[in-house]
């Protein structure tokens, strides 16, 4: 089985997969659609980070592909609906780089509150300006968090430990941690907070949701951070809010359009603005996080192939399968009435004894893992493949 890993995925992933006996091919940069299609010839599993887009066209051109590992938090660079349609399981690392993103956010909040970017620029230019003007402690100041998921909630804890007051807004009913307070609307959060940090996902409904109207509602001389998804913020509106002095500073790590490879020019109207921190999508890029991500996602890909395990899959029904002790049928199918009866009937036709069976469904997809034993497996795979509802079937 051949696995292609793109975008400088950590060597820990290569080590894990090599130890499982896979043939690994790596590439340092992201690939465009045409190049990716060419590269996927003969590839069974693909590993990417955030800059390679796995589109419906890519999936249609790669019938051998069985799984995609996103070695990052987000999966908006993958057409999940198309992946499900083409029976391709998708896995990601929703927790591994949480701490790295939180630490960067805290560092940037402190740096902006102290105007460290301006002081650093002046010192490199030979200007000594020992002044407290515009410099503040973060203790006692109010942080507003938009999105109280894994990262937002941990940021809440760390910020509170620094003495900040924390408010948050989330569409879901989330339990407040520590002394954080939930507000009922984004408008309410913008009114009360002196620093706003975005931590929402990249779903299409979030595109452009933070723009001129929201910046105008923020308190004068507030700070703004986006370390989540580039397409959710109108950067022209952010530029205007900074240029007018309404905002005192901003830290941006993600952008609507990002260079694919190292060394390409980064173009933005925020370049050169005072007290604006621009980082190249490195929120989760610490050695510790990348090693954890490499180990975690590589393990998920290996377990899916060897065990049929879909635990924590982004798009498949979740089945946590144990070690294989006999033979195992892994059956992905259309979730329609009677399909399990037809599956089990096919097993009975081949005199298979069912030792255990696990089933999970997710929308229009069903996923069954059945441990079987018998004397003859000849023709079993062909009969299971011939079922009208079968999307993909394997015998382990």
367 phi, psi to nearest 5 deg: -140, 120
- What is the C-alpha separation between 127 and 354, in angstroms, rounded? 78
- What is the C-alpha separation between 39 and 160, in angstroms, rounded? 47
- What is the C-alpha separation between 309 and 367, in angstroms, rounded? 10
Helices (H) and strands (E) in the chain, counts: 13, 16
Q: Where are the beta strands (DSSP E) in the chain?
A: 2-5, 23-26, 45-48, 67-70, 89-91, 142-146, 165-169, 181-182, 195-198, 222-226, 247-252, 276-278, 327-334, 353-362, 365-373, 390-395
Catalytic residue among 258, 291, 383, 389: 258
- What is the C-alpha separation between 307 and 145, in angstroms, rounded? 39
Q: Is 1 helix (H, G, I), strand (E, B) or coil?
A: coil
- What is the C-alpha separation between 32 and 51, in angstroms, rounded? 9
Catalytic status, residue 392: no
Catalytic residue among 229, 239, 328, 331: 229
Catalytic status, residue 229: yes
Catalytic status, residue 258: yes
Catalytic residue among 281, 328, 331, 333: 281
Active-site residues, by number, are 229, 258, 281
């Amino acid at each position: 089985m051949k696995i292609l890993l793109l975008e400088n995925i950590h060597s820990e992933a290569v080590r894990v997969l090599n130890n499982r006996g896979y043939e690994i091919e790596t590439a340092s940069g992201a690939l465009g659609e045409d190049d990716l299609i060419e590269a996927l010839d003969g590839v069974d599993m693909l590993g990417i980070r955030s800059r390679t887009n796995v589109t419906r066209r890519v999936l249609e051109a790669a019938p051998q592909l069985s799984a995609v590992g996103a070695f990052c938090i987000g999966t908006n660079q993958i057409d999940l609906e198309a992946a499900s349609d083409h029976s391709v399981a998708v896995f990601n690392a929703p927790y591994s780089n949480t701490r790295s993103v939180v630490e960067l956010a805290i560092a940037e909040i402190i740096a902006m509150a102290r105007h460290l970017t301006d002081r650093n620029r002046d010192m490199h230019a030979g200007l000594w300006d020992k002044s407290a003007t515009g410099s503040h402690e973060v203790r006692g100041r109010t942080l507003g968090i938009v999105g109280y998921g894994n990262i937002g909630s941990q940021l809440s804890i760390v910020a509170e430990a620094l003495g900040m007051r924390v408010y948050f807004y989330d569409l879901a009913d989330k339990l407040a941690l520590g002394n954080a307070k939930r507000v009922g609307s984004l408008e309410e959060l913008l009114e009360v907070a002196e620093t706003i940090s975005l931590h929402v996902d990249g779903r299409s409904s979030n595109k452009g949701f933070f723009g001129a109207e929201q910046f105008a509602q923020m308190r004068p001389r507030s700070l703004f951070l986006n370390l989540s998804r580039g397409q959710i913020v109108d950067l022209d509106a952010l530029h205007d809010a900074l240029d007018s002095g309404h905002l005192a500073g901003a830290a941006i790590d993600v952008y609507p359009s990002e260079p694919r490879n190292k060394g390409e020019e980064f173009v933005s109207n925020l370049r050169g603005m005072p007290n604006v921190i621009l980082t190249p999508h490195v929120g989760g890029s610490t050695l510790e996080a990348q090693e954890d991500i490499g180990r975690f996602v590589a393990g998920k890909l290996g377990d899916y192939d060897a065990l049929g395990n879909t635990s924590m899959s982004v798009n498949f029904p979740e089945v946590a399968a144990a070690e294989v002790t006999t033979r195992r049928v892994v059956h992905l199918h259309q979730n329609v009435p009677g399909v399990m009866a037809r599956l089990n009937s096919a097993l009975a036709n081949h005199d298979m004894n069912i030792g255990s069976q696990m089933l999970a469904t997710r929308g229009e997809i069903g996923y069954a893992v059945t441990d079987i034993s018998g004397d003859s497996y000849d023709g079993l795979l062909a009969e299971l493949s011939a079922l009208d509802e079968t999307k993909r079937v394997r015998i382990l």
